[in-house]
Amino acid sequence: MSKQRYELDPITLEYIPVKRNRWKEILVFLTAGVVFMVLGFLILPHYFDTPDELALRRENEDLKLHVAVLDKKFDHLEAVLKNIQKRDKNLYRLLFEAEPIPDDVREAGYGGSDDANLNDLSADAVTRLNRKMEALSKKLVVQSQSFDELIRLAKEKEKYLSHIPAIQPVENKDLKRLASGFGRRFHPILKIWRPHNGLDFTAKTGTPIYATGDGVVTYAGRGSGFGLHVKIDHGYGYETVYAHMSRMAVRKGQKVKRGQIIGYVGSTGLSTGPHLHYEVHYKGKPVNPIYYFYRDLNAEDYEKLMEISKTAQQSLD
């Protein structure tokens, strides 16, 4: 049951029952409901999110995190690439005597940094990441081309290193075979002072003689005071001569490898005893062969042989 309402009569000062107007109450209730509904639609969205908005907000936060992770990955890859570029510029290209790549070419037309705000998840953020990816891709292309060139140069360098004279022509582990060094010497047969354009290694007749680098035999025969001797053209301006052989093991035009036996020690030609006279020529001029034994000796033995070559005066040819 609904409760009876009363109101005070100001004249009689008595409480009298109040007659209820139900239609009026219904109208007031409906009006209040409509007002609150309108206020809810207009005000509440500013303070509270709808389920769809909550879902979109969560998706937006996930995208921000994803973009941040991608951004860090790009920064890491760029740092790795910069390290490779630095080594390429300051080590690899210097080692192989390659022309340096200009910085503007290495950067492939990109430079500086992009300070776009990651909180702005608009098309600009996606565009920025695409630009970073494009720039990184172009830099990688330049670096890849640089490595292709270095590989080619490395192969050429390997070929060069295998061709230049780099070992002793006879086995000399105890360093006791060097009898005469490079320079002016008194010839034991001609009895005159004249340039000694090589080194003399004493050894028993029949001791193997080795090619000191890859090359092609340009002469194998008897001639002048060298007796039986062999000449090898190594390319790159280098030629070696092996004289006073007892027997040759190669022929003219034959390709030889470093360490290959090309003949045997003897005493043919102008010689006072079994030994090998060995010369190195660079661009047509004789040079001291002592400088070309770096593949055959450690640093200590190299220094010892250098000292021996300075004092070895017993010319055998």
Task: Encode pLDDT of 5-37 as tens digits.
Answer: 766 667 766 767 766 667 766 776 777 777 767
Express each pLDDT in 219-244 by its tens digit.
Answer: 999 987 899 999 999 999 999 999 99
pLDDT for the residue numbered 49: 63
Alpha carbons 66 and 54: distance in angstroms, whole number: 18
Residue 38 and residue 112 in one domain? no
Rounded-to-10 torsion of CA 295, 297, 303, 307:
-100
Residue 206 and residue 288 in one domain? yes
Residue 157 and residue 276 in one domain? no
294 or 184, greater pLDDT: 294
Residue 256 and residue 202 in one domain? yes
163, 195, 217 — which closes off a domain? 163
Across the range 263-280, mean pLDDT stands at 91
Express each pLDDT in 49-91 by its tens digit.
Answer: 667 777 777 877 777 777 777 778 877 778 777 778 777 777 6
Range scoring the smallest mean pLDDT among 79-88, 117-126, 262-271: 117-126
Q: Roughly what angle, to the nearest 10 degrees, separates helices 123-163 and 51-87?
A: 20
Residue 137 and residue 60 in one domain? yes
184 or 254, greater pLDDT: 254
pLDDT for the residue numbered 224: 78
**Residue 266 forms part of a structural domain:** yes
Express each pLDDT in 84-108 by its tens digit.
Answer: 877 777 767 766 667 777 777 777 6
Residue 42 and residue 57 in one domain? no
pLDDT for the residue numbered 118: 45
H or E element in which residue 118 lies: none
Q: Which of 159, 139, 241 is nearest to 197 (CA)?
A: 241
Alpha carbons 102 and 113: distance in angstroms, whole number: 20
Residue 41 and residue 22 in one domain? yes
- Domain membership of residue 42 as a residue range: 6-47
251 or 81, greater pLDDT: 251
**E-state strands within the chain:** 6-8, 15-17, 178-180, 183-186, 193-196, 199-202, 208-210, 215-223, 227-235, 238-248, 255-256, 261-265, 275-282, 285-287
Residue 39 and residue 55 in one domain? no
Residue 109 and residue 218 in one domain? no
Residue 132 and residue 237 in one domain? no
Alpha carbons 132 and 76: distance in angstroms, whole number: 12
User: How many domains does one find in the chain?
Assistant: 3
Structure token pair of residue 241: 């001569």
Name the pTM for this structure: 0.55
Residue 199 and residue 302 in one domain? yes
Express each pLDDT in 126-168 by its tens digit.
Answer: 777 778 788 888 888 888 888 888 788 777 888 888 998 999 9
| Residue 306's CATH number | 2.70.70.10
Residue 195 and residue 276 in one domain? yes
pLDDT for the residue numbered 112: 47
The answer to whether the beta carbons of residues 263 and 249 sit under 8 Å apart is yes
Rounded-to-10 torsion of CA 134, 136, 138, 143:
-170
Cβ-count burial 270-285 (b if 16+ within 10 Å, e if not) = bbeebbbbbbbbbeee
Q: What angle do CA 79, 84, 87 make, to 5 degrees?
A: 125
